[in-house]
Amino acid sequence: MRVTAECIPCYLKQAISTMRAAGIDDSRQQRLLEALFPVIAGLDDSKTPAENSSLVLFELYRLLGPDDPFREAKVRSNDLARTFLPALEKVIAFNADPLLTALKVSVAGNVIDMGIMPGFDVSASIQQELGRDFELCDEQPFRELLEKGGPLVVIGDNSGEIFFDFLLLAQLRSFTDDITYIVKGGPILNDATLEDAEAAGIPLLAKVVTTGSNYLGVIPELCSGALRSLIGDANLVLAKGQANYETLEGTSFAGDKTFFLLRAKCPVVAGHLGVRLGSSVLIRNRVNL
């Protein structure tokens, strides 16, 4: 999907979230935002919000220096998410439909987003997701592809959330033992990296591979040959979160074997999906012709 005018204030909001996480004082925040204006003015509006937002954040990270601003916040969100595991394991195991419940739990974790929703509440999110249906739900074709087995790719999103994905992976393992879980190649916002995957025990259930960069989402043109083959050879791809939707929806690279699992956290994505802001969806990719 392409950027809209509304994405521009949102780049700045994500930059503010980043600077807050880095402990930058307000006056310096204002100066740093202004330093991002030339980058924003130079963006290509035929690109996706996630790609453009990445370019703005790369410039901010360059200005802030080498430390990961979200390092501590990511550890805290992992620690927080971990506390929910024993209860959520039981919620999934004792539900009549453990797979659907694990999908809901996984999307509940998608609220852990320090870029555009820094005031998230994980506990409320879990209760909300377990108590409602997906607003759009392509569960039937998802199950059909899943039951065929074969290589499965899950594209992760945030730290913290990755612990909830562990519970989903445990369910997916009943269908195939060839699962690859994709994380970012470097720090960007609170997106999960190799470190987070290890903290969450993902390697016990899946092979972990990185996107090879720290761009938000997965940008087809920037994927390595290995990553292209991995996604190309998969029988089923499950991509989590807004950024993966922004970069992959409509592409023939993702194809109709890709399903997006996300909460619509901004009006631009909600509008593109045709759902209410704040609702969650499991939808199959429709390739743009």
Residue 10 to residue 64: CA distance in whole angstroms: 19
Contacting residue, 13, 71, 82, 173, with its own copies by CB under 8 A: 13
Q: How far is CA 198 from CA 68, 86, 101, 107, 273, in A?
A: 18, 18, 24, 20, 33
Task: Tell me the window of 36-44, 161-169, 199-207, 216-224 that interacts with its own copies (CB under 8 A).
Answer: 36-44
Q: Could you give the string, one character per residue 43-82, with x where binding to its own copies holds by CB under 8 A and - elsewhere?
A: --x-------------------------------------
Q: What is the separation of C-alpha 150 from the centre of its chain, rounded to a whole number of angstroms?
A: 23
Q: Which one-letter DSSP state was computed for residue 124?
A: H
Kindly report the length of the chain: 289
Contacting residue, 18, 19, 53, 107, with its own copies by CB under 8 A: 19
Tokens representing 151? 């290589």
The helix (run of H) or strand (run of E) holding residue 260 is strand 258-263
By CB under 8 A, tell whether 9 contacts its own copies.
yes
CB nearer to its own copies: pick between 29 and 210: 29
Beta bridge partners of 113: 117
Give which of 289, 265, 27 is closest to 280, Cα–Cα.
Answer: 265
Instruction: Give the SS3 label for residue 169.
Output: helix
Residue numbers 149-188 binding its own copies by CB under 8 A: none
Task: Tell me the window of 12-20, 68-76, 93-101, 183-191 that interacts with its own copies (CB under 8 A).
Answer: 12-20
Rg of the Cα trace of the chain?
A: 18
- State the minimum distance, in angstroms, from the CB of residue 273 to its own copies: 17
Contacting residue, 1, 18, 21, 27, with its own copies by CB under 8 A: 27
Q: Which one-letter DSSP state was computed for residue 109?
A: G
- State the minimum distance, in angstroms, from the CB of residue 120 to its own copies: 15
Task: Tell me the window of 26-34, 132-140, 190-198, 231-239 that interacts with its own copies (CB under 8 A).
Answer: 26-34
By CB under 8 A, tell whether 12 contacts its own copies.
yes
Interface residues toward its own copies, by CB under 8 A: 3-6, 8-10, 12-13, 16, 19, 26-27, 29-30, 33-34, 37-38, 40-41, 45
